[in-house]
Amino acid sequence: MNAASPESQDARRDRLFQALESLLALPAAELRPTLNRVSLLISELLRADKVDVFLFERSTQCLVAVGTSDTPMGRLQKAIGLDRMALANGGRAVQVYEREQPFMTGRQDEDPEELPGIKHRLGVKSSLIVPLPIGGETRGVLGVVSAQPDFFSQDDLRFLLAVAGWVGTVAHRVELARELTKLATRSARRAAAEELVTVLAHDMANHLMPLRARIELIQRRARRDDARDYLRDADGAAQSLKALSRLINDLLDLSRLDQGLFTLRPQPMDVVALAKDVASSMRGPNHDLQYRGPEELVIVADPDRLRQVLENLVANALKHSPPGLSVGLDVQTRTRAEERWVCIRVSDQGPGIPPDMLDTLFERFARGPGSTGLGLGLYLARRIATAHGGTLEVTSAPGEGTRFELTLPEAP
């Protein structure tokens, strides 16, 4: 290739442009077939005995030949297992990946730093290896080899460096297309599931009212007849029905948010009275629920929605607190930017939330450690806080408990 005539140089230049056009025309399909096609194009262009697109596999710490030209040497490489190269074993391809510097030789059979299998089993004598950039970082190497000595020139090396950029672009495009397909599939499944859940929630809500009426009727009869066992069972059924109603309402609220039908009914209300009522109604035998704050504090808010937030936060705190430890419910005021704000804190002494879960804790269907619900409570709580012009934040560390802080303007 070094002794080419001016006419063959022109012909070679045409082949280079045709190869680049072919690379850009490759469809964004599966990664391995696409890179196999890329390797074959480069092999035909440079008349090489083998071309590899090696990508780094983090789980095994290996360079893996994701694309290899369908040539006798390429098939032999797969047969003897040289299509996977562990970083620990070294070799020229590994050096190029780690140092991000190209390598060229015409006497690889005499190179003491090359792997014996490549020199002796494959019979490689000339080699070009360049880093492979994908998505702004070196993700592998592009290698071209020949069984003939001194086969490649500096022009070939410069061309391969340019081609590596195009190959990286093709690989990145394939990866992006694959991710977009996954996201589209996941989104479609999620939309279908949410629509089904919403329909079921509507249907279930229609059956709850007569069921609630029946349970209340049983409670009245049990009180009238002083049937304590029946009254205890009826009270338990009423509590279970209340939890089911809350779950169904969460699902319906999710649908209202998606459809833009979620509304607030703000009015003057005593947030302290609400906090005390929540603390009194949810205090259990295994936990002490302590309220701390003023005796009265009037703000403008939707009392039903605010109760929904507080009950969700307190229920979470009680669920994750070890028996015998108290849960705190604090109300205080603060001034920010010459405006008065109300801060409601719900804190527990539980195991805390792992740091890797904090970023997604308020997403829909996100569930914390040990949670058995649908993962909608905190998502809706933050949306309700935002709708009031406020915020809902969490502070937590493993072994140090969790604190949720709801901040609302006194008059949004």
Query: Could you read off the pLDDT of 173-228 as tens digits, one per residue?
Result: 777 777 877 877 777 766 665 666 666 666 666 667 788 888 888 888 888 888 88
Total number of residues shown for the chain: 412
Work out whether strand 50-57 and strand 137-146 pair parallel, antiparallel, or are unpaired. Answer: antiparallel
Count other Cβ atoms within 10 Å, centred on residue 230. 15
Q: Which residue did the predictor score with more confidence, 107 or 1?
A: 107
Report the Cα 16 to chain-centroid distance in Å: 41
Segment 149-157 shows an average pLDDT of 90
Judged by average pLDDT, the poorest of 20-29, 46-55, 92-101 is 20-29
Segment 337-362 shows an average pLDDT of 86
| Residue 216: predicted pLDDT | 86
Q: What is the CATH number that goes with domain 267-409?
A: 3.30.565.10
The side-by-side arrangement of strands in the sheet containing 103-105 is 84-86, 62-68, 50-57, 137-146, 126-134, 103-105
Task: Work out the pLDDT band at 111, boundaries 50, 70, 90.
Answer: very high
Report the Cα 108 to chain-centroid distance in Å: 44
Q: Is the pLDDT of residue 134 over 70?
A: yes
Q: Is the pLDDT of residue 263 over 50?
A: yes
Largest CA distance in the chain: 112
The residue behind tokens 């901040």 is 407
Q: Which residue did the predictor score with more confidence, 153 or 212?
A: 153
Q: How far apart are CA 126 and CA 121, in angstroms?
A: 14
Closest CA to 46 of 113, 143, 119, 165: 143
Query: Could you read off the pLDDT of 358-411 as tens digits, one per residue?
Result: 888 888 776 665 565 566 788 888 988 988 899 999 999 888 889 999 999 987
pTM score > 0.85 for this model?
no
| Residue 101: predicted pLDDT | 95
Q: Is the pLDDT of residue 172 over 90?
A: no
Q: Between the CA of residue 268 and those of 65, 130, 198, 335, 387, what are the distances in Å?
A: 68, 70, 32, 19, 16
Q: What is the CATH number that goes with domain 6-181?
A: 3.30.450.40
Segment 281-308 shows an average pLDDT of 85
| Residue 21: predicted pLDDT | 62
Judged by average pLDDT, the poorest of 12-16, 95-99, 279-283 is 12-16
Judged by average pLDDT, the poorest of 203-212, 247-256, 309-318, 349-358 is 247-256
Task: Work out the pLDDT band at 25, boundaries 50, 70, 90.
Answer: low
Closest CA to 381 of 347, 404, 349, 350: 404
Segment 52-58 shows an average pLDDT of 92
Domain positions in the chain are 6-181, 191-259, 267-409
